[in-house]
Amino acid sequence: MGVSKNSTVAFYGKGGAGKSFLTSMVARTLTERQKRVLQMGCDPKHDSVITHFGGAFIPTVLGTWASFQNEGRDEELAPEHIIFKGNGVYCIELGGPESARGCGGRGITFGFGLLEKWGLSEWNFNYMLLDFLGDVVCGGFGTPIARSMADKLVIVCSNEGQSMYAANNIASAVRYFAEQGGKTRLLGLFVNKDDGSGKAARLAEFLGVPVLASLPVIPQNELDADAYAHPKVAAAVEAVIDAIDNKDAHFPNKVDFHDFMCALSGNAATMDGTAVSADELWSLPELEPSLSLANIPNGGAFDHRYIEAESDAEKLLVPTVVSAGGFAVPSADW
């Protein structure tokens, strides 16, 4: 398909990271500046644009297509049946299959196929903002990257481990397709729910990309009236728009996530105060079980995390407390 003539930006990140919130705030701000903006929700939950419609869900591309098909009218389906306008923002929700009844990634691919047939890249918008499901595991959710539909990509993440893990996976997808000739590049990270630990900023350093903006946790009562008007939100959104308009996007570095986590202060597996590398970790000596079930005395404490079952091959990793002769043995007593 190639990069659109519009400024097309994809927002990615782990579920719950704040992608839809950020995308909606950026879309509204640009619309108030007299820009024509299309916001597209690319998640089966189809909740990306609800803030533009007072919390209401709009009909989805896949759902509308299914209705037309059931009526034998699928050839009549047109863009005006799936584009809605709220707060001045033009909105599309791709949607997805019902739970356990289909592949969400394939649904995304099919939805984009319909939009491409209608000339999506030639639509007269100044900005097209794609709000995508968190992790890039299924190829369908990597469509904007694989097909170079987005020229710039923003990763929304927090300092939480799983959020950074997803962010690194997304950056890895950008790098992979760029190496294959793709045109999508990573603009940077938006750190949401920032607790001040600096972990996501450190990940940005490893990836070789900037932190576009950081937004701390804001009490809900400060957002109830209008999140858009909150000065911290407005400043963060302004920084992202400035980056979209004026900053170059990047070819991200390859990052081994284990090595990255070990490099974080206070967050690494350590031995004698030194971070343990991946090679060292796999070469650590295996702990040998010292007690068999038959030899554990009633109520007796023992000092090993491994216990031996009927045979040497059956080993059990004990949780914080274990049953020994019918009595719980606290880990402090091992």
Q: Distance between CA atoms of 31 and 222, rounded to whole angstroms?
A: 24
pLDDT digits (tens, 9 = 90+) for 273-314: 555 565 655 565 554 444 444 444 444 444 444 444 444 444
Q: Could you state, in order of their start, the residue ranges of all structural domains in the chain?
A: 7-253, 293-333
Query: Is residue 135 annotated as part of the catalytic site, yes or no?
Result: yes
The residue from 43, 131, 135, 194 that is catalytic is 135
Give the architecture (CATH level 2) of 7-253.
3-Layer(aba) Sandwich (3.40)
Query: What's the pTM value of the predicted model, to 2 decimals?
Result: 0.76
Burial class (CB in 10 A: 0-12, 13-18, 19+), 266: exposed
Query: Is 50 exceeded by the pLDDT of residue 122?
Result: yes
**How far, in Å, CA of 16 to CA of 232, rounded?**
19
Catalytic residue among 14, 152, 193, 199: 14
From the list 19, 152, 193, 199, the catalytic residue is 19
pLDDT at 184 over 70: yes
pLDDT per residue as tens digits for the range 89-102: 999 998 766 665 65
Q: Is 45 a catalytic residue?
A: yes
Measured from the Cβ of residue 31, the count of other Cβ atoms closer than 10 Å reads 21
Active site residue 14: yes
Catalytic residue (one of 5, 35, 43, 45): 45
Instruction: Quote the tokens at residue 276.
Output: 């343990």
Alpha helices for 81-198 (secondary structure H): 104-117, 143-146, 161-179
Distance CA(48)–CA(107), nearest Å, equals: 16
CB 170 within 8 A of CB 142: no
